[in-house]
Chain A
Amino acid sequence: EAGVAQSPRYKIIEKRQSVAFWCNPISGHATLYWYQQILGQGPKLLIQFQNNGVVDDSQLPKDRFSAERLKGVDSTLKIQPAKLEDSAVYLCASSLDGRTGGYTDTQYFGPGTRLTVL
């Protein structure tokens, strides 16, 4: 079974530029998550999708971050414009069904995208 795929693995941009990250979850997984992991900290949830609908985006800085999950499969996360404090690893995860909290909610993570904002 293929895991969660993310691209690019690394990205370096200047502040005020735009950047987009892509995630392809495990086939058949209805729930998709984007986490931000700042150096020295644990990941923090940015947004959770159930199929192509948003379940939780309470911690997403909506003035600069946006995310979509067209057709309930792949997802993109965009930052526009980027700030220095956005430097972090952006992790995508998926689970079979994140609504229940049971074993179907086990989250599988991708390798992440390391973003450096100069």
Chain B
Amino acid sequence: AQTVTQSQPEMSVQEAETVTLSCTYDTSESDYYLFWYKQPPSRQMILVIRQEAYKQQNATENRFSVNFQKAAKSFSLKISDSQLGDAAMYFCAYRSALGSQGNLIFGKGTKLSVKP
């Protein structure tokens, strides 16, 4: 069974600085998808970024980028120029590329605080 581990329960960053959130996963599959979701206090999960395992190039979305290390099974999220609105829970998630089951397997999350 696949597992996702986020080893940092909480992180803090100064506004305008850069922070990196860690995520590792365990799988025997070679093809899969990885995601970072943001969950603000309103509870609505918002997709931040996604990465296809077959792509070597790291995904980027504006101030958000990932460092995908397939061999190490590592998928970290870098937030540049942090803003107060980035404060939220961040969840790393895994989805198998096999079959029709779209089950997202989530880590326990990292709570990010942004200091003004």
Contacts and interface: CB of A to CB of B under 8 A. Distances in A.
Contact of B104 (A45, A55, A100): A45
Contact of A56 (B43, B45, B101): B101
Contacts of A100: 100
Interface of B: 4, 33, 37, 42-47, 50, 91, 93, 95-97, 100-104, 106-109
A111 B39 CA distance: 10
B109 A48 contact: no
Given A55-B101, A107-B104, 9 more contacts: A31-B102, A42-B106, A42-B109, A45-B103, A55-B102, A91-B45, A100-B100, A105-B95, A107-B47
Nearest to B4: A42
Contacts of B102: 31, 33, 48, 55, 95, 98-99, 101, 105, 107
Contacts of B108: 40-42
Contact of A101 (B47, B91, B93, B97): B97
Interface of A: 3, 31, 33, 35, 40-45, 48, 50, 55-56, 89, 91, 93, 95, 98-101, 105-112, 114
Nearest to B46: A109
Nearest to B97: A101
Given A55-B100, A101-B97, A106 B45 contact: no
A92 B108 CA distance: 18
A111 B44 contact: yes
A111 B103 contact: no
A112 B101 contact: no
Contacts of B45: 43, 91, 93, 109
A93 B8 CA distance: 26
Contacts of A42: 4, 91, 93, 106-109
